[in-house]
C-alpha cells in the first residue's frame, strides 16, 4: 500500500513524492515523466512486494512539486538530475536504484553520470539518449504521421477536467496506448495539480517544459561511463521514441540489458507490469522476502 502524498524539500524546492513498501528496505526512486503518475500503481506495488521501498516523485513544475512557470523553466536538465540525487540523500537509505520514464529517463541518465555515488542501479523506460528536439542521425525520430495527428488536434480547455481527460484518451489512442488507462491517469493528474492548473496540465501532456529546457551539455558520449547495473525497457510499438533509441542505449551503456515489450507502445501496460518488475528486481539482488 502507498502512503499519502507528501512533499520533501531539497535545495530550496519541494518535490511531491509517494512511497510504497517497507521504509527500511532498499530504495527504488522513480522519476516521473513529468508527473509521478507516469509510473503505474501496479508496478510500484509489485516492486514493494519484492522487498523494495519505492518512492515515485513529480519533477519540478508538475503535480505537487514546486511550480513557478512551466512554460519558462528557470532550471536545466542537470538541475533536475541534481534534484534526484538530493532526494536520495533526503530520503536516506541510498544509494538508490534510479528509474526514469520518458523525459524522466533523460533526467535519470544525467543523474547517474553526474552523481554516481547516489545510485546503485538504473532503469530507463521509453526514453532516448539525446535531448528533446531533432535526434542524432543514427537514431529514429518520432513517427511523423503520429506526431501530425497528435498536434493537429485542437487544445482542450485545460480548466475542464473532462475535456483534459478526453484529450489524453484520444492522444493515447493515436500513440497506440490504452485510452481508458490514459483517461484515468489524466483525471488523477488534474485532481492533484494545484493552483495554476491550465499551464501545468499543458506542460504535463505536451512536454512543453522539456521543449524549453536547457539540456546542455550533451550526455550521449558519456554513456559508457555508467558503471551500475542497467535495464532498458521499451515498447516495440512506441511511435514517440521508436525502439531504435532503446537499442542505442543498451549498446552504449556497458552490460545493459534490453527488455522489449512486444505488445506495448509508449506506456507500460498492465500486462507487462510483472515482467518489468521482475527485471527491475533482478538488477540488484532479486526479490527480498520478509
39 burial via Cβ count (<10 Å: 0-12, 13-18, 19+): buried
Structure confidence by residue, pLDDT tens digits, 171-212: 999 999 999 999 999 898 888 876 554 444 444 545 556 667
Residues belonging to the chain: 290
The pLDDT-based confidence of 253 (bands split at 50, 70, 90) is very high
Q: How are beta strands 257-261 and 119-125 bridged, if at all? A: unpaired
Structure confidence by residue, pLDDT tens digits, 40-75: 999 999 999 999 999 999 998 888 888 777 677 889
Q: Where are the domains of the chain?
A: 6-132+196-283
Question: Is the dihedral angle over the CA atoms 218, 214, 134, 229 positive or is it negative?
Answer: positive
pTM, two decimal places: 0.94
Q: What's the CA gap between 171 and 174, in Å, rounded?
A: 5
The answer to whether residues 240 and 266 touch, using CB atoms and an 8 Å cutoff, is: yes
Strand order in the sheet with 53-57: 6-10, 13-20, 53-57, 27-31, 96-101, 119-125, 230-235, 257-261
Q: Is the pLDDT of residue 262 over 90?
A: yes
Query: What pLDDT, on the 0 to 100 scale, is given for residue 194?
Result: 61
Q: Name the CATH superfamily for 6-132+196-283.
A: Alpha/Beta hydrolase fold, catalytic domain (3.40.50.1820)
Q: What is the DSSP string of 96-137?
A: EEEEEETHHHHHHHHHHHH-GGGEEEEEEES--SS-SSSPPT
Amino acid at each position: 500500500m502507498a502512503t499519502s502524498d507528501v512533499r520533501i524539500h531539497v535545495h530550496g524546492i519541494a518535490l511531491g513524492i509517494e512511497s510504497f513498501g517497507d521504509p527500511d528496505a532498499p530504495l527504488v526512486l522513480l522519476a516521473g515523466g513529468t508527473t509521478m503518475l507516469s509510473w503505474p500503481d501496479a508496478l510500484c506495488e509489485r516492486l514493494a512486494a519484492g522487498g523494495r521501498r519505492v518512492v515515485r516523485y513529480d519533477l519540478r513544475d508538475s503535480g505537487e512539486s514546486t511550480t513557478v512557470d512551466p512554460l519558462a523553466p528557470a532550471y536545466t536538465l542537470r538541475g533536475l538530475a541534481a534534484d534526484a540525487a538530493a532526494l536520495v540523500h533526503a530520503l536516506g537509505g541510498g544509494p538508490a536504484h534510479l528509474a526514469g520514464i520518458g523525459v524522466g529517463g533523460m533526467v535519470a541518465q544525467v543523474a547517474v553520470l553526474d552523481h554516481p555515488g547516489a545510485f546503485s542501479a538504473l532503469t530507463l523506460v521509453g526514453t532516448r539518449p539525446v535531448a528533446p528536439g531533432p535526434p542524432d542521425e543514427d537514431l529514429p525520430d518520432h513517427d511523423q504521421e503520429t506526431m501530425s495527428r497528435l498536434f493537429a488536434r485542437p487544445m482542450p480547455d485545460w480548466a475542464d477536467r473532462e475535456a483534459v481527460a478526453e484529450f489524453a484518451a484520444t492522444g493515447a489512442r493515436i500513440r497506440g496506448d490504452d485510452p481508458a488507462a490514459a483517461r484515468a491517469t489524466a483525471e488523477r493528474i488534474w485532481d492533484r495539480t494545484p493552483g495554476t492548473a491550465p499551464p501545468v496540465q499543458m506542460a504535463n501532456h505536451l512536454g512543453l517544459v522539456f521543449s524549453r529546457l536547457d539540456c546542455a551539455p550533451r550526455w550521449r558520449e558519456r554513456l559508457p561511463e555508467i558503471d551500475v547495473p542497467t535495464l532498458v525497457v521499451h515498447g516495440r510499438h512506441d511511435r514517440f521514441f521508436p525502439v531504435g533509441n532503446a537499442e542505442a542505449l543498451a549498446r552504449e551503456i556497458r552490460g545493459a540489458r534490453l527488455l522489449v515489450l512486444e505488445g506495448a507502445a509508449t506506456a507500460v501496460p498492465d500486462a507487462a507490469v510483472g515482467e518489468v518488475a521482475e527485471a527491475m528486481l533482478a538488477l540488484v539482488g532479486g526479490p527480498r522476502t520478509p
